[in-house]
Structure 1
Amino acid sequence: MRCPYCAEENTQVKDSRSTEDGAAIRRRRVCSVCGGRFTTFERVQLRELTVVKRSGKREPFDRTKLERAIAIATRKRSLDDAVLERMISGIVRQLESSGEAEVGAAEIGGHVMEALRALDDVAYVRFASVYRNFSEAKDFEAFVSDLAETVSARQSAEPGGTN
């Protein structure tokens, strides 16, 4: 592993351990030249995924782009980082285990929408506003109205809810 400080290729692993969800290995490393310390993560990748954008352009799947989009949607929400990491890992596992080498951006967005809807309504609306390309206030109004109806129906169906 190349040192991020001096670009030396000779670094030593000082400590290895699994992450909380067991989906990655965390390694503490030290550079043998400059003494810099840094952490790396290794994840299992079942297959190389290619994302097919709406424009038809193809690009390699990038987990960090998914993480960034979810971080933006969940910003300033009181959500545990471990819960978000499990959600992201679950979405990636779903995509990798689908059996397809190419996955549409809309499919990825659908998985994220589904996961955020179960996790946090505000993050769900934030993500939907970008994913569905809301351009006017009425777009938000219609979406939130549908969400409110769904939440109301879900609450009345729960034990102890109003029927």
Structure 2
Amino acid sequence: MRCPFCQSEDTQVKDSRPTEDGSVIRRRRVCSVCGGRFTTFERVQLRELMVVKKSGRRVPFDRDKLMHSVQVALRKREVDIERVERAVSGIVRQLESSGEVEIPSEEIGRLAMEALKGVDDIAYIRFASVYRNFSVAKDFHNVIDELSIAEEAADQALADEANQD
């Protein structure tokens, strides 16, 4: 692993441990040249996924790009980073377990929207505005109405469940 400080390839692992959910190995490293310390994360990749863009162009799937998009939607929202990490990991697992090697970009966007719906309503609306290419204020109203309907349905389901007990 190359040192991010001096670019030396002579680094050593000082400590390794799994993250809380066990899906990532966290490694503390030290550079033997400059003494810099840094952390790397190692993930299992089941298969190489390709994203099919709207233009038909194919590019390798980039988990970091997905994470960045989700973080942009969550900017200035108080959401635990671990929750965001679990949401993105869930999306990646769904993509890898789909059995498909080529995934349409629209599918990734849809999965991200669904994950954000469970994390933060405002982030969901922000992401939807880009993903669905909002052009007028009414588009925002429509998404807010969708959220309200889904929330009412969830509340009703909880009430029905409570009445059965």
Question: Within 1, Cα distance between the matches of 2:142 and 2:108?
Answer: 23
TM-aligned CA deviation for residue 124 of structure 1: 1.0
Residues 1-163 of structure 1 correspond to what in structure 2 (within 5 A)?
A: 1-159=1-159
**What is the CA deviation profile of residues 6-63 of structure 1, one whole-angstrom value per residue up to 9, with x for unaligned ones?**
1111101111111111111111111111111111110000000000011111111011
State the 1:99 CA deviation: 1.0
SS at match of 1:42: strand
Paired residue type of 2:125:
V
Q: Distance in 2 between matches of 1:146 and 1:3?
A: 48
Runs of at least 4 residues of structure 1 off by over 6 A? none
Amino acid in the other structure paired with 1:75:
R
Report the residue type matching 2:15 in the other structure.
D
- Segments of 5+ residues of structure 2 without an aligned counterpart are none
Letter matched to residue 124 of structure 2: Y
Q: Which amino acid is 1:98 matched to? A: S
SS of the equivalent of 1:21 reads coil
TM-score, L = length of structure 2: 0.92
Hey, what's the Cα distance between the residues in 2 that align with 1:87 and 1:134?
A: 24
Q: Distance in 2 between matches of 1:56 and 1:22?
A: 36
Superposed CA RMSD: 1.5
Over the matched positions of the two proteins, sequence identity in percent amounts to 63
Query: Shift of residue 79 of structure 1?
Result: 1.4
Aligned residues: 161
Q: Between 71-80 and 33-42, report the one with greater CA deviation.
A: 71-80
